[in-house]
Amino acid sequence: EEVAELTRGGRANDFHGRFAFFTVIECFEDRSVRRDLAAMVEEEPQVENVVIVGSGPAAHTAAIYTARAELKPLLFEGLLAGGVAAGGQLTTTTDVENFPGFPDGISGMEITERFRAQSINMGTRILTETISSVDFGSFPYEVTSENGTVVRAKALVIASGATAKRMDIPGAGDNGFWQRGVSACAVCDGAAPFFRGKPLAVIGGGDSAMEEATFLTKYGSKVYVVVRRDVLRASKTMQQRARANPKIEFLYSHAVTEALGSGKFLEQLKIKDLKTEEERIIDCNGLFFAIGHLPNTQFVSHAVDTDDQGYIITKPDSTATNVRGVFACGDCQDKKWRQAITAAGSGCMSALEVEHYLQELEDDQPVTNGATEVPLEGGQPA
């Protein structure tokens, strides 16, 4: 009974618990009994105060704050999660000039490496594994990675981000001019020196495309908006604003068929009139995809509330979700701003809420079978 009690809720996985555990089993003379009892603790998943899923500014800010609060966070940064290297969308950005503290700017890859280094220096443990599933049926929640690692979490911070949708256009991919004139974030990259005073293009017909095209007119000599249909999906207000800008030219019923350049950077686009099938080449030094993002939330969407696009829904003025002890921050929850600095801010919010939540758990302590009891609503943790 004492052995069973020590294994419940992962108590045998902390230092004092393990010491007590092995002290108890050494009382047995039969080696086979000791071996079987020892296997009980080895099979029990590690119980963590907080598990963070993500690798961008939201995840690392949450990690830094929870580490400073001595919660010993475990962060799963993913292995090409969403098709992007650890660090998230920032790793696909050349120069970051709008994050405070870097007056001369900094590359997207370097700033994400600094985020990671600071998290580790604060005491965060990082696993380069992608989370495949979370079982909310019992508490602490069971978190499983694609590598087979299983841990149990009292609190879960989802900062898994969103992946910008890209089009499979010859010359615009990773082996072409991607990040050398082709981007999926005008606000992130549009102010780069090699876009200034040059003709640029945006693909898309929604509000994001209108907003990005308008933003790019601050830097480019001209901005083409390439729309596959002969109408825009954007709101009337956004349409009117874009149409009123003399630098914006709409190419309706057109598609980009190839990105071209004779050197290191994008120089031209081949475009096709979808009605006449006629193709022509236009000068263009920057191509920006504005066709939406895909939030990386599939691994929790069975229990955590999301909207029709897959973005996690959080409570007003909070990062708390509908599942008790589960918090969401960054681009997996924010479909409006999608900036590194706003993601970092929401990561801070999640960390502070986790700290308060864990304190409430400790103070409350309704215990069932050694684990904190979690009320259920509709079969899911409330």
185 catalytic per annotation: yes
**Active-site residue 329, yes or no?**
no
Three-class SS state of 174? coil
Say if residue 353's pLDDT is above 50: yes
Q: What is the DSSP string of 282-307?
A: EE-SEEEE-S-EEES-TTTTTTS-B-
Q: From the candidates 189, 284, 329, 332, which is the catalytic residue?
A: 189
Which residue in 95, 188, 329, 331 is the catalytic one?
Answer: 188
Q: Is 280 helix (H, G, I), strand (E, B) or coil?
A: strand
Looking at per-residue pLDDT, the higher value among 352 and 3 belongs to 352
| pLDDT value, residue 81 | 65
Tell me if 109 sits within 8 A of 96, measured CB to CB.
Answer: no
Identify the pLDDT of residue 96. Answer: 86
Q: How far is CA 168 from CA 91, 176, 198, 338, in A?
A: 20, 11, 24, 23
Q: Read off the pLDDT of each residue in 230-242 and give the average, rounded to a whole number.
A: 93
Which pLDDT value is given to residue 30? Answer: 62
Q: What is the DSSP string of 186-245?
A: HHHHTTSGGGTTSEEEEE--SHHHHHHHHHHTTT-SEEEEEESSSS--S-HHHHHHHHT-
pLDDT for the residue numbered 45: 83
Give the residue, 115 or 363, on which the prediction is more confident: 115
What is the pLDDT averaged over residues 301-305? 97
Q: How far apart are CA 225 and CA 204, in angstroms?
A: 7
3-state helix, strand, coil in the chain (%, to 5): 30, 25, 40
Q: What is the pLDDT of residues 185-222, one digit of tens each?
A: 887 788 888 899 999 999 999 988 998 999 999 999 99
pLDDT confidence band for 53 (50 / 70 / 90):
very high
pLDDT (tens digit per residue) in 153-163: 999 999 999 98
What pLDDT does 31 receive? 65
For residue 43, how many C-alpha atoms fall within 13 Å in the half-sphere facing its CB? 7
Per-residue model confidence (pLDDT) at position 84: 64
In whole angstroms, what is the distance from residue 354 CA to residue 297 CA? 19
Residue 328 has pLDDT above 90, yes or no: yes
When pLDDT is cut at 50, 70 and 90, the band that residue 376 belongs to is very low
With bands split at pLDDT 50, 70 and 90, how would you rate the model's confidence at 293? Answer: confident
- State the pLDDT at residue 13: 47
**188 is an active site residue:** yes
pLDDT of residue 374: 44
Instruction: Find out whether 263 and 194 touch, Cβ atoms under 8 Å.
Output: no
The tens digit of pLDDT for each residue in 14-45 reads 444 544 555 555 565 566 655 665 555 556 78
Catalytic-role residue among 27, 95, 185, 273: 185
